[in-house]
Amino acid sequence: MIGAVLQLWFGWHAVLGGGEPAVHWTASYVDGDGVHTVEAWRRPGHVRRITDRVLELDATRRRGEGLRFSINDHRRGVTFHGTERDRIMHGSFADWQRWTHVVAPSEPGALAFRIDRPALITPAGRCLWYRDASAELCWSRSLALPLVIRSDGKDVYTVTFAEPFRGTLPGFTPVGVEIGGDDD
């Protein structure tokens, strides 16, 4: 009873929180364009993601400075550099939470609830099942990541490998034309 009350009081982040432990992971996911792969490295305040070896994201969030990011689009030969303001002005609503944890609350005050289902042991580790407004998430508290996301009964995101990360994130080198947030 007390757990349910605390869950309602604190919401989504209280249930699926866990900070930003340093982690390196690979995953596959399905969207309208087919199956994709992603490799990501996360340390507190810094994330690096490579999707299909075509799109690279390097983002930092330092206290007092806000979010800064760079995206390489290898197909177009373009690098875009931006800030939180640029991201919003261009209509991109992917945010730090999604970049670093794959999922985010669907709206302010969103809730996530534990599903009465046994823990799942995956190649990336153990996770527990939760339900939010849009999907079922098998959440790894130690990695602060969903190891499986299930929507409409189908697995749409699956972490295939994950480990605590120590060291330096892979370097980011701009490609081709570089565009800043104000260079539209």
Determine contact, residues 146/127, Cβ cutoff 8 Å: yes
For residue 47, what are the contacts with CB-CB under 8 A and spacing of at least 6?
A: 40, 41, 57, 58, 59, 96, 99, 100
Query: Which residue type is seen at 57?
Result: L
Distance separating alpha carbons of residues 35 and 101, to the nearest angstrom:
19
Dig out the tokens for 28 from the structure: 């596959």
Helices (H) and strands (E) in the chain, counts: 4, 13
Residues forming a β-bridge with 30: 35
Averaged pLDDT, 135-141: 95
Dig out the tokens for 14 from the structure: 């209280």
**Nearest to residue 162, comparing CAs of 17, 23, 19?**
23
Determine contact, residues 124/147, Cβ cutoff 8 Å: yes
Cα torsion at 119, 123, 124, 129 (round to 10°)? -20
* pLDDT of the residue at 9: 43
Give per-residue pLDDT as tens, 55-111: 999 999 988 778 899 999 999 999 999 887 776 666 555 688 889 999 988 887 888
The domain made up of 12-168+176-180 has a fold known as outer membrane lipoprotein receptor (LolB), chain A (2.50.20)
* pLDDT of the residue at 96: 84
